[in-house]
Amino acid sequence: MKLARNCKLLMIGDSITDCGRARPVGEARNDALGNGYVLLVNALLQTAYPAQRIRVMNVGTSGNTVRDLKARWDTDVIALKPDWVSIMIGINDVWRQFDSPLRREELVLPREYRATLDELVVRTLPLVKGLVLMTPYYIEPNPRDAMRARMDEYGGIVKQVAKKHGTVLVDTQAAFARVLATMYPAELAWDRVHPNMTGHMVLAKAFLKAIGAKG
């Protein structure tokens, strides 16, 4: 596994990461980590690798775009001095283009998304032991669906940035594809974005597989 003993893993993103975590930093007690994939990642790491004493921290914030992450990066990432950072961002960057398309000043289009994500990775890599990029996803099996197609475009940007900088990549859309082969999207998320615990387990297992965790 890529995470070493006494490693500090910081996970940042939007509402999918947030999931009601404690403020200012979600850590320590399980309820402080929120009720989503971060909680599951922590629980699975602690049971599979108890001797590693891995410290998991949740600084996800509901509603965030990559623009918002950039605005709080110094206080919520750099200042906390993590060993590893996991970033999952992009769902709101896409969603606002569909539910609020006329509020153009709030839209984060592909060029800004790519440039900002790349900037955050470049700033962070020299300060940490490793970085994980998780693609955004849309729980919709039809790739021709307009929002799914746009989300795939942003997921493609994440893959390119990960390849460029040699970071760990978690393809969350691919992880959901296996489940969606037999389950209707509403079984996982009423809005195809905010998953139930089954969906969060899909994310947690995909993350753990990407970092080489076993057991």
Does residue 187 sit within a domain?
A: yes
**Alpha-carbon distance 94 to 194, whole Å?**
14
Does residue 65 sit within a domain?
A: yes
Does residue 1 sit within a domain?
A: no
The secondary structure element, H or E, covering residue 56 is strand 55-58
Does residue 183 sit within a domain?
A: yes
Tell me the residue range of the domain where 107 lies: 8-210
Does residue 151 sit within a domain?
A: yes
Q: Give me the active site residues, please.
A: 15, 191, 194
φ/ψ (deg, to 5) at 195: -80, 160
In the chain, the number of structural domains is: 1
Q: What is the chain's length? A: 215
What would the pLDDT profile of 166-192 be if each residue is shown by its tens digit?
Answer: 999 999 999 999 999 999 999 999 999
DSSP designation for 26:
B
Pair type for strands 130-134 and 168-170: parallel
Assess contact for 140 and 148: CB atoms under 8 A: yes
What would the pLDDT profile of 122-151 be if each residue is shown by its tens digit?
Answer: 999 999 999 999 999 999 999 999 999 999
Does residue 29 sit within a domain?
A: yes
CATH code, 177: 3.40.50.1110
Does residue 215 sit within a domain?
A: no
Query: pTM for the complete prediction?
Result: 0.96
